[in-house]
Structure 1
């Protein structure tokens, strides 16, 4: 069975990340925790995975008009930009309209 996008990102990042790290907020925030871990560790991720992973944020309806008063959203916004700027660099604007298949059965 093929691994889902989020699990592949966690497994193939260098250094690898832990998807759904225990004690890190509600399960609904596993993608945000994963992104934060990738940024904090300075992880390298192949463009094949990095582009669709970042496209999920860029194409979210709230990306362009975030609620800056919510500290979690502010952290996510900063992390998306930091991760995109890390090697290999990804132009976030190039991801606009990119369709990404993903599922989140990890916590369902």
Structure 2
């Protein structure tokens, strides 16, 4: 890719994967605070607010700390995941069904999205 996006996306994936050994689990099966926040129905606001927090902190606390950008991106990914899950839940009316990898991967129709919009 022209601007090294593939390298950056790999860095993001590696960072997110590394965080799973750092999260606090409250149960043996790995229940995390984020799971509780989702059950309370505040996960989208929580993720959006945290992404904003880390973007605003970038360049201030610890200088131009790349980790702040990675944390912001991670919260944006979690927000996108929650939105995708809501879409799946709406389509299946909350009933457990086999969801194709294509739909689960977030391959929704973005044809109406203006990618040149600022």
Shared fold, TM over 0.5? no
* TM-score computed with the length of structure 1 as normaliser: 0.32
Determine which structure has more spread, i.e. the larger CA radius of gyration.
Answer: 2
* TM-score computed with the length of structure 2 as normaliser: 0.30
Higher relative contact order (CA 8 A, sep 6+): 1
